[in-house]
Amino acid sequence: MSGQSTSDHATPGRVTARSDVPVLMYHSVRADPPSATRTLSVHPDRFAAQLDALLELGLTPVPFGALVAHWRTGAGLPARPVVLTFDDGYADFHAEVLPRLVERGLTASLFVTTGWLADAAPADRAGAPLDATLCWSQLKEIEAAGIETGGHSHSHAALDAVRPGVLGDELARCRDLLEDRLGRAEQVFCYPFGYSDARVRTAVRSRGWAGACAVANTLARPAQGPYALARLTVRRRTELSTFRRLVQGVGVTRHYLADRALTKGYAVVRRTRTSLVPVRTWERDRP
């Protein structure tokens, strides 16, 4: 992996300090996804091959929260960490992803849109899920299997485009429901669509989440700050050979050139609505 820090070769027992880590963004893992989720879906067989490739390459999946804690406090990590993240909370996580993770003894982070859950109470239903979603009992099974859960808003709104009151409600309802139903304080967050600005990041921070991830399609690095950590998009068309290069930090910029150009274009349009202030440093962004 490129960009390793000088402490990547620390002696046994010392904390390693990775300077860049691949954080992978998945959505759906299905053999026959609907058209709405197909592009950002992965076939179950290919997903299994990707997990095996990670193990073959000596990479160890860790929860997103563990990466945040490592860069905040120096908490230990494996020598070559990788983070698997799954957005939205589709039902195929329980059917297709969880068994393959458990079979290999691996972990991941699942970011849940609470208003999309299949058995959300009538008063809690919000937004329009693109495919079948998980239910609360499945979320409990997933957590019991060692998978980290986190927030992905309540209705999957573009948080940088909503009024302050709506933003607060999206974050509060998501966090409160997850904590009440799963019985523990949620630690990590993921921005719907990857959209955030200084106002959104401050709101997420004030709600007590320790860290959050966006997209950006580059390796995650401490300089990005704990509330804007980057991820790499994994799509249905991502070939296994390409996947192997990306998780080793090879050819990342070249592979995502088109994505990054689109992201910059969207950012210009979205900045016409709000003024962005400088992102704080990693240390000052601590909750």
The reported pLDDT for the residue numbered 260 is 65
Residue located via tokens 């004030």: 206
- Quick check: is 235 in a domain? yes
**pLDDT at residue 18 is higher than 80:** no
Helices 136-144 and 164-182 sit at what angle, rounded to 10 degrees? 60
Residue 127 carries which side chain, given as an amino acid letter?
G
Residue range 252-277: mean pLDDT, rounded: 64
Q: Are 15 and 3 in contact (CB under 8 A)?
A: no
d(CA 287, CA 70): 15
The reported pLDDT for the residue numbered 8 is 36
d(CA 91, CA 45): 17
Give me the helices (H) in the chain, please.
Answer: 35-38, 44-56, 64-73, 92, 98-104, 136-144, 164-182, 198-206, 240-247, 252-255, 257-271
Work out the pLDDT band at 236, boundaries 50, 70, 90: very high
d(CA 244, CA 140): 32
* Percent of residues, the chain, with pLDDT higher than 90: 82
**pLDDT at residue 49 is higher than 70:** yes
Work out the pLDDT band at 264, boundaries 50, 70, 90: low
- Quick check: is 279 in a domain? no
122: exposed, middle or buried (Cβ count in 10 Å: 0-12, 13-18, 19+): exposed
- Quick check: is 106 in a domain? yes
- Quick check: is 169 in a domain? yes
Residue range 10-31: mean pLDDT, rounded: 76
**pLDDT at residue 4 is higher than 50:** no
pLDDT: is 87 or 261 the higher one? 87
Work out the pLDDT band at 3, boundaries 50, 70, 90: very low
- Quick check: is 2 in a domain? no
The reported pLDDT for the residue numbered 184 is 84
- Quick check: is 239 in a domain? yes
Instruction: Write the DSSP symbol of residue 220.
Output: B
- Quick check: is 277 in a domain? no
pLDDT: is 260 or 252 the higher one? 252
d(CA 178, CA 171): 11
Work out the pLDDT band at 248, boundaries 50, 70, 90: very high
Helices 240-247 and 44-56 sit at what angle, rounded to 10 degrees? 40
Q: Are 193 and 216 in contact (CB under 8 A)?
A: no
d(CA 248, CA 162): 37
**How many domains, in total, are found in the chain?**
1
Beta bridge mates, 282: none
pLDDT: is 283 or 269 the higher one? 269
Average pLDDT, the chain: 88
CATH number of the structural domain spanning residue 63: 3.20.20.370
The reported pLDDT for the residue numbered 249 is 96
- Quick check: is 1 in a domain? no
The reported pLDDT for the residue numbered 159 is 96
The reported pLDDT for the residue numbered 30 is 98
Which of 214, 200, 112 minimizes the C-alpha distance to 161? Answer: 200
Domain, as residue range, for 87: 18-271
Express each pLDDT in 181-216 by its tens digit. 999 887 899 999 999 999 999 999 999 999 999 999
Express each pLDDT in 214-227 by its tens digit. 999 999 999 999 99
Work out the pLDDT band at 258, boundaries 50, 70, 90: confident
Backbone φ and ψ for 85, nearest 5 degrees, come out as -115, 145
Q: Are 115 and 55 in contact (CB under 8 A)?
A: no
The reported pLDDT for the residue numbered 278 is 38
